[in-house]
Structure 1
Amino acid sequence: MESNFYEASMFYVDKGRKYQSSMPMHHYHDGYEIFYLVSGDICYFIGDQAYQAVSGALFIIGMNEIHKLVNASGATFERITLEFKKEFLEGLFPEGQSFDVMSSFNEGRPFVKLTGQEQGYVERHLEHMIHEFTHMPEGYEACLQTLLFQLLLFILRKMSSAQAPEQTSIGTIHKKTFEIVDYMNRHYAERLTIEGISKRFYISPSHFCKTFRKSTGFTFTEYLNHVRIKEAKALLIGTSDKVADVAERVGFESLTHFGRTFKELTGMPPLKYRRLHQS
């Protein structure tokens, strides 16, 4: 297997919507990587394992670990990539710590399964890091060091609290659920229901709800709302469409429901979100 080596940045974080990976070959680098899938569904190869990933998936990739992202469906996905070297954290905390915050990378468990609430926390945390890294306000480097340490500590505690190693390689994420997620990512603007999805994919509603939540960390409605709101955020920033038109384009039949759901997931109304991010 041919693999390419890349020099890692001391610290780098980026968010983007893509159709394919910017590094299509198997590759490795002399730094650490945290990959968070904001929306879409992909396949991630890490070492000799393959992982099916849907929105909310978090991967931690160690130094010199061979990996590759594959987007077989060709549909748009959105991801946040965080890359850093261990030296970036040196000197931030006193010596003699009783634990190593980087030890999660040595567990051989690159996939971190998050609940819906945890996904919200990680997304807000990464968005804060992106803001500091992009705008570079006074003291941004110290802020990034602190935020990175907090994220690594969250991952360490999350993995330590797991009752058993979480194996989520291909075949253990319910194949039917993966197909349903792909369908929802493509048809989020349409009227989707548990009954309709169950009928289309020949699965009982109760079994669908159980396997869907186990695989994604979301209920059906929570996941659908997350997909729709993420698309709405992109439209609010990238277009001048009216809020009512944005709500309709992403599948909300009621402007009131859209506004309430948007505020629940982002912490602010749609117009305030637009003004804040366009400025």
Structure 2
Amino acid sequence: MVLTLYTICGHNTMPVQLKNRRNRLIPLTAFPGCAIMNEVISNGGEHGLISIDQTLTADYRYTLSDFPNNLGELDRLYVEHRHSYYQIMILESGTATILCENSIVKAAAPFVVFYPVNVPHFHLNHQSQPYYRIHFSPEDLELLAADTPPFPAEFAVLELTGAEYEQLKPYVELLMNVPDTDHRQSQLRMLLSAGLFELAHLQSIHAPDEQADRNPPSTGTKELVYRICVYLNENYPQQFTLDELADRFFISRAKLVRIFHKVTGLTVGEYLKNARLTNARRCLRMGHTVQETAELCGFSSPSHFAHCFSAAVGCPPHKYAMIADTRNALLNKRYHKE
């Protein structure tokens, strides 16, 4: 079992040979979820890989095994994806909308998300907030202590109180700071096992709360909103009205507005803007200009895009693009040296 942390530059890192419209090489970090860290590929370990990182977006981070061969495949992968390993996501602040298994969940941090192996999902943070990801394979799970609680068999979201998050946080911090010694692997197994015990305890506390939910949306309503969200994720560049969207799904405008907000906690416009902004970050990292990005992501004008982007991300898009371009140039230089 091998711990792989995420770093800007590392040995055995493999470049991805894709080019943008300006014929510049695009490294792995240019894509969703890679804005800060690059995966260090390790050939060690007989039973797979345990990894933990902290990043600033909930965008999917492509690995070399499932990275698309051409840019045209990116949008399909970006909307919904799956992993060959277990994933735990921990968000300390902010809110998110999560699509998984034909259902949709709105969650307010602090919360924990459990993604089983090969379950398609899409996670959209409403704010750019730091969050943790813990990955481990089914083989790794078998190596943990015999009495370790099983990983949830189904997708689950566990919302925590502030005090409960403080109980969980030490386990995450310890995992993040396991020293590079001969005993690293045994420490990782021990800490992951202890963390799963704590999560199982917190789940047992919240089980009665889930059963007491008085007015949850019906399964049919959740599935309908899920399909609407998937449609918005796939068609974010298009312009359409609420009436047109409602007609597409054979419901009234009033019902669309009501059920969408009830299930997601957002208006249709807010959800669509979040999807456009998340894809805009991807376009800027790929080398598109601000004007091109505004057009590709469905904004009415570059000035409107710049206003929305600055409000959400904290810096204007041209500055974001400059930072990404500088980082990518440094990474490409490092790749060529290696």
Name the residue aligned to 2:134.
Answer: 83
Aligned partner of 2:157 among 111, 133, 156: 111
Question: Residue 83 of structure 1: CA displacement?
Answer: 0.7
Residue 183 of structure 1, CA deviation = 1.2
Structure 1 residues 246 and 237, CA gap change in structure 2 (3 angstroms): same
Change over 3 Å in CA distance of 1:184–1:113 after alignment to 2: farther
Contact kept, 8 Å, 1:34 with 1:82, in 2: the verdict is yes
Question: What SS does the corresponding residue of 2:119 show, helix, strand or coil?
Answer: strand
Deviation at 1:268, TM superposition (A): 1.2
Q: Is this contact kept in 2: 1:231–1:250, CA < 8 A?
A: yes
1:208 to 226, 243, 256: 256
Inter-partner Cα distance in structure 1 for 2:238 and 2:232: 9
Larger Rg: 2
Q: Superposition pairs for residues 89-238 of structure 1, below 5 Å?
A: 110-112=156-158, 164=210, 171=219, 174-238=222-286
Structure 2 unpaired stretches of 5+: 1-46, 63-73, 126-130, 137-150, 161-172, 178-194, 327-338
Classify the secondary structure of the residue corresponding to 1:82.
strand
1:9 matched residue in structure 2: 50
CA contact (8 A) 2:103 2:222 kept: no
- Report if aligned partners of 1:13, 1:83 keep a CA contact under 8 Å in 2: no
Partner-residue secondary structure (3-state), 2:304: helix
Superposition RMSD in Å: 4.9
Letter in 2 for 1:33: I
- Aligned residue pair count: 199
Shift of 1:260: 0.9
Structure 1 CA distance for aligned equivalents of residues 283 and 116 of structure 2: 35
Q: CA shift at 1:171, angstroms?
A: 2.2
Contact 1:52–1:168 (Cα < 8 Å) also in 2: no
Q: 1:78 to 1:277 in 2, by over 3 A?
A: farther
Equivalent in the alignment of 2:140 = none
AA partner of residue 244 (structure 1):
Q
Question: Is contact 1:189–1:250 with CA below 8 Å preserved after alignment?
Answer: yes
For residues 189 and 207 of structure 1, the distance between their equivalents in structure 2, rounded to whole angstroms, comes to 24
Seen in structure 2, the aligned counterparts of structure 1 residues 267 and 56 have a Cα distance that, compared at 3 Å, is farther
1:250 & 1:39 partners in 2: Cα distance? Answer: 20
1:272 paired residue number: 319
Unaligned runs of 5+ in 1: 1-5, 45-50, 86-104, 115-128, 134-148
Q: Note if contact 2:294-2:302 (Cα within 8 Å) is conserved in structure 1.
A: yes
Q: Distance in 2 between matches of 1:170 and 1:7?
A: 39
SS in 2 for 1:83: strand
